[in-house]
């Protein structure tokens, strides 16, 4: 009887281990699929004929995401959210149809300064495309730090000046959503609008 119980216990433990390993592999696969989905690269222009919008808007995504987060109304994992619209559709519905969005090639290993240089290229492209002197930026999470690094010509890790970023006073309004820094509003050096929606003063 004791031998039977011992054998049964070993089988039960073995089955539990198999289930745990299977669950772990399933979770790992799901996390991988989610990361691949949310990092799908995307570059897109939107424009509206006869728009009264004063400046084009650049949408800057955050860590582990892509520009897709602005164009699709989902939870970032491919699951739609009822009764919601994307940021792009929201802006267009509010009279801001001229929009540019793009995806950073690397948000984990590239520095904020490196991505700030990429953002500068996006700004130049957008100004040329819409024949504008300035742009408005809406940024999320790490994207807000990238925008801030450009505006302040600063390496936010140590506060050192990075003159090669060459801020050209070409950002009129910067909106930061869930930015991971403290006292950003008081420390920024440039007179920008911090409203929740783009403004046209």
Beta-sheet pairing, 160-161 with 154-155: antiparallel
| pLDDT value of position 75 | 65
Entry field: residues in the chain:
201
| pLDDT value of position 87 | 94
Burial environment of residue 71 by CB neighbours within 10 A (0 to 12, 13 to 18, 19 or more): middle
| pLDDT value of position 125 | 97
Q: Which residues of the chain have pLDDT under 70?
A: 1-3, 5, 28-40, 75-80, 181-201
The token pair at 188 is 């920024």
| pLDDT value of position 182 | 61
Residue range 40-187, CATH number: 3.40.50.1820
| pLDDT value of position 144 | 94
| pLDDT value of position 199 | 37
Token pair 């742009």: residue: 135
Confirm whether pTM is higher than 0.75: no
């Amino acid at each position: 009887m004791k031998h039977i119980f011992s054998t049964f216990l070993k089988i039960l433990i073995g089955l539990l281990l198999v289930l745990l390993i299977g669950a772990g592999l399933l979770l790992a696969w799901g996390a991988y699929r989610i990361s691949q989905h949310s990092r799908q690269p995307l570059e897109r222009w939107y424009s509206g004929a006869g728009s009264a919008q004063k400046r084009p808007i650049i949408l800057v995504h955050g860590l582990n995401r892509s520009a897709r987060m602005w164009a699709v109304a989902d939870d970032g994992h491919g699951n739609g959210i009822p009764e919601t619209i994307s940021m792009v559709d929201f802006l267009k519905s509010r009279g801001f149809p001229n929009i540019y969005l793009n995806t950073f090639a690397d948000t984990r290993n590239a520095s904020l300064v490196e991505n700030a240089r990429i953002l500068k290229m996006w700004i130049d492209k957008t100004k040329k495309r819409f024949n504008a002197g300035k742009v408005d930026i809406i940024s999320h999470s790490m994207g807000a730090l990238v925008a801030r690094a450009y505006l302040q010509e600063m390496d936010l890790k140590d506060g050192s000046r990075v003159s090669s970023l060459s801020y050209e006073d070409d950002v009129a309004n910067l909106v930061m959503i869930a930015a991971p820094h403290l006292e950003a509003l008081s420390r920024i050096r440039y007179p920008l609008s911090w409203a929740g929606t783009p403004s046209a003063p």
